[in-house]
Amino acid sequence: MTEPVLIERRGAVQWITINREERRNALNEKVALGIQAGLDAAEADKSVRAVVLTGAGDKAFCAGGDLQLQADGTPFTIDAADPRHYVARLLRRMDACRLPIVARVNGPALAGGFGILCACDLAVAREDAKLGVTEVKVGIFPMMILPYLLRIVSYRRLMELCITGELITGRDAVAENIVNYAVPYEELDQKLDWLLARVTDKSPTGIRLGKQALAKIREMSTDAALEYAQFMLANMTRTKDAREGMLAFNEKRAPNWTAE
């Protein structure tokens, strides 16, 4: 049986590939669990510096939820009393990841796939990839991914996307700060490698603690955020990576990061 998610190590980067090309890399529970397992494995290895999340082939990054008509006519079943739906678990796990997650948007990122894109830290997209939320066209709204869309997309633009169901391109998404870079498909991996090189040579400890702090500060009042930031900065200065970074700067050499 074909694995729904492929996990591959490439140098200092862990690649996680949704491997359902025949279903346009649609999201289901097995895919969500596979992505989570890939993140777990990446964090367990101190030599991993970043994670790439992508889809198999060139037809789609992720076309959203794998909708199958149920016996009662609904597109899927969900227990309103259970807050542990697999999409919520996946998004929480991505949020908690201490490594930078880079989306390699090799094709359309629609509905839940657009939510996964917005949950990543950085994104490189093919310029003609279609992005957006189409749920309104089947009578629903992108409820599960709204918290992540609101972080990335401006309110008025998000409202327009949600209530029209219209799509934008990767090229458009750069101008709206939804993705970092958009390039022709044949240049996608070259641009991705360029971005990864700028990430993986930096302090893994600094990035890890910085991501943790940013996630907390985003939910705080300004006063609480300033107090927390001071506490975190004091802790960061005591790490081995911070000491090595300062020493390397003074000695005018490249630092030797230990992720400690």
Q: Are 165 and 133 spatial neighbours (Cβ–Cβ below 8 Å)? A: yes
pTM for this prediction: 0.93
3-state secondary structure of 11: coil
The pLDDT tens digits for 90-111 are 999 999 999 999 999 999 999 9
What pLDDT is attached to residue 78? 56
The pLDDT tens digits for 56-71 are 999 999 999 876 544 4
Question: Is the predicted pLDDT of residue 144 greater than 50, yes or no?
Answer: yes
What CATH superfamily classification does 5-200 receive? Answer: 2-enoyl-CoA Hydratase; Chain A, domain 1 (3.90.226.10)
Mean per-residue pLDDT over the chain, rounded:
93
Q: Is 135 a catalytic residue?
A: yes
d(C-alpha 192, C-alpha 35), whole Å: 19
Q: Exposed/middle/buried for 3, CB within 10 Å: 0-12, 13-18, 19+?
A: exposed
What pLDDT is attached to residue 84? 73
Q: Are 213 and 229 spatial neighbours (Cβ–Cβ below 8 Å)? A: yes
What pLDDT is attached to residue 66? 79
The pLDDT tens digits for 181-229 are 999 999 999 999 999 999 999 999 999 999 999 999 999 999 999 999 9
**Per-domain residue ranges for the chain?**
5-200, 204-251
d(C-alpha 232, C-alpha 36), whole Å: 27
Which is catalytic among the residues 22, 43, 127, 135?
135
What pLDDT is attached to residue 70? 46
Q: Please enumerate in sequence order all residues whose Cβ is within 8 A of that of 1, keeping only pairs 6 or more positions apart, or say none.
A: none
How far from the centroid of its chain's Cα atoms is residue 1's Cα? Answer: 27
Q: Please enumerate in sequence order all residues whose Cβ is within 8 A of that of 139, keeping only pairs 6 or more positions apart, or say none.
A: none
Mean pLDDT computed over 36-45: 97
